[in-house]
């Protein structure tokens, strides 16, 4: 079973994503901030991380993405950045951090599932 880690500080958004993913057979893990998300990624070795960019605390989503992609044990993990910021500079920052995909909020459940399925096919 493929593992997905949701790293999102807003509980309602985490719940919506989890409910969308529950229609498929994924093992779902959740974290509410960047630092915890990075620890969870190391612990559960997900196939894919859905990662909010703007989170309070010591690490934002871009920093978590960079840490995942620079760790040889996690470098193959697919990372989808989720953000309300969709300017060209924001997309470039996501690319620089090593993100595999960038979804701008609000996104549809169908758009989310299409993205996940496309990335998981490459895992």
What's 53's domain CATH number?
3.40.50.2300
- Predicted pLDDT of residue 84: 86
Could you tell me the pLDDT band of residue 23, with boundaries at 50, 70 and 90?
A: confident
The residue-averaged pLDDT of 71-75 equals: 96
Count of domains for the chain: 1
When the pLDDT of each residue in the chain is averaged and rounded to a whole number, the result is 94
The range of the structural domain enclosing residue 35 comes to 2-121
| 79-92 residues labelled b (16+ CB within 10 A) or e (exposed) | bbbbbeeeeeebbe
pLDDT above 90 for 68: yes
CA pair distance 109, 21, nearest whole angstrom: 9
- Predicted pLDDT of residue 46: 98
CA pair distance 77, 56, nearest whole angstrom: 23
Cis peptide before 106 (omega within 30 of 0): yes
């Amino acid at each position: 079973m493929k593992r997905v880690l949701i790293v999102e500080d807003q509980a309602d958004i985490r719940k919506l994503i989890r409910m969308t993913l529950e229609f498929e057979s994924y093992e779902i893990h959740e974290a509410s901030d960047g630092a915890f998300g990075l620890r969870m990624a190391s612990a559960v070795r997900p196939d894919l991380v859905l990662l909010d960019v703007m989170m309070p605390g010591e690490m934002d989503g871009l920093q978590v993405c960079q840490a995942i992609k620079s760790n040889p044990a996690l470098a193959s993990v697919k990372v989808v950045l989720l953000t309300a910021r969709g300017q060209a500079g924001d997309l470039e920052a996501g690319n620089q951090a090593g993100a595999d995909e960038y979804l701008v909020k609000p996104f549809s459940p169908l758009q989310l599932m299409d993205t996940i399925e496309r990335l998981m096919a490459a895992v």
